């Protein structure tokens, strides 16, 4: 797409706003529509569009595969840690109320935010990895 200067300029301007919107959907997902999965898909879409327009090699420089695999693992660990913290306190796995024994509603709120963050990080990493895998396969 090197000959399409307008597309390149528009995408370069839009990608930061796409990533910012993903963070908005992530943080406000417990108050309205959205959440971890939707935010992860939007976040990955920013890098996928960048890779389509500027090339996969340049997109991998912007988001190296080491970071992507770290995102996948970190999101899964974050999700599981909420459950193991609840088990450590003596409650059942993923019992959010146990996270704040003095205010169970606050504990549920914390648990949902952390779980959704783990889901968002994992989904963004997995979708970006899938795109990079198929795109690199096609170019070789």
Task: Write down the domain spans for the chain.
Answer: 5-139
Query: Quick one: pLDDT band at residue 137, thresholds 50, 70, 90?
Result: confident
Per-residue confidence (pLDDT) for residue 101, from 0 to 100: 87
Between CA 123 and CA 104 the distance in angstroms is 28
Q: Are 121 and 41 in contact (CB under 8 A)?
A: no
Percent of the chain with pLDDT over 90: 74
Residue of 29 and 42 predicted with greater confidence: 42
Between CA 116 and CA 124 the distance in angstroms is 12
**Which tokens go with 67?**
């970071």
Which residues 6+ apart lie within 8 Å of 12 measured at CB?
Answer: none
Query: Quick one: pLDDT band at residue 7, thresholds 50, 70, 90?
Result: very high
**pTM of the predicted structure, to 2 decimals:** 0.89
Kindly report the number of other CB atoms within 10 A of residue 85's CB atom: 17
């Amino acid at each position: 797409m090197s000959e399409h200067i307008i597309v390149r300029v528009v995408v370069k301007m839009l990608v930061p706003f796409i990533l910012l919107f993903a963070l908005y959907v992530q943080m406000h997902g417990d108050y309205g529509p959205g959440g971890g999965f939707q935010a992860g898909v939007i976040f990955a879409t920013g890098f996928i569009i960048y890779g389509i327009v500027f090339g996969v090699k340049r997109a991998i420089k912007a988001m190296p595969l080491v970071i992507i695999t770290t995102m996948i693992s970190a999101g899964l660990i974050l999700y599981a840690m909420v459950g193991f913290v609840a088990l450590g306190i003596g409650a059942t796995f993923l019992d959010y109320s146990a996270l704040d024994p003095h205010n169970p509603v606050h504990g549920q709120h914390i648990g949902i935010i952390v779980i959704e963050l783990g889901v968002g990080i994992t989904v963004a990493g997995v979708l970006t990895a899938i795109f990079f895998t198929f795109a690199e396969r096609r170019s070789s």
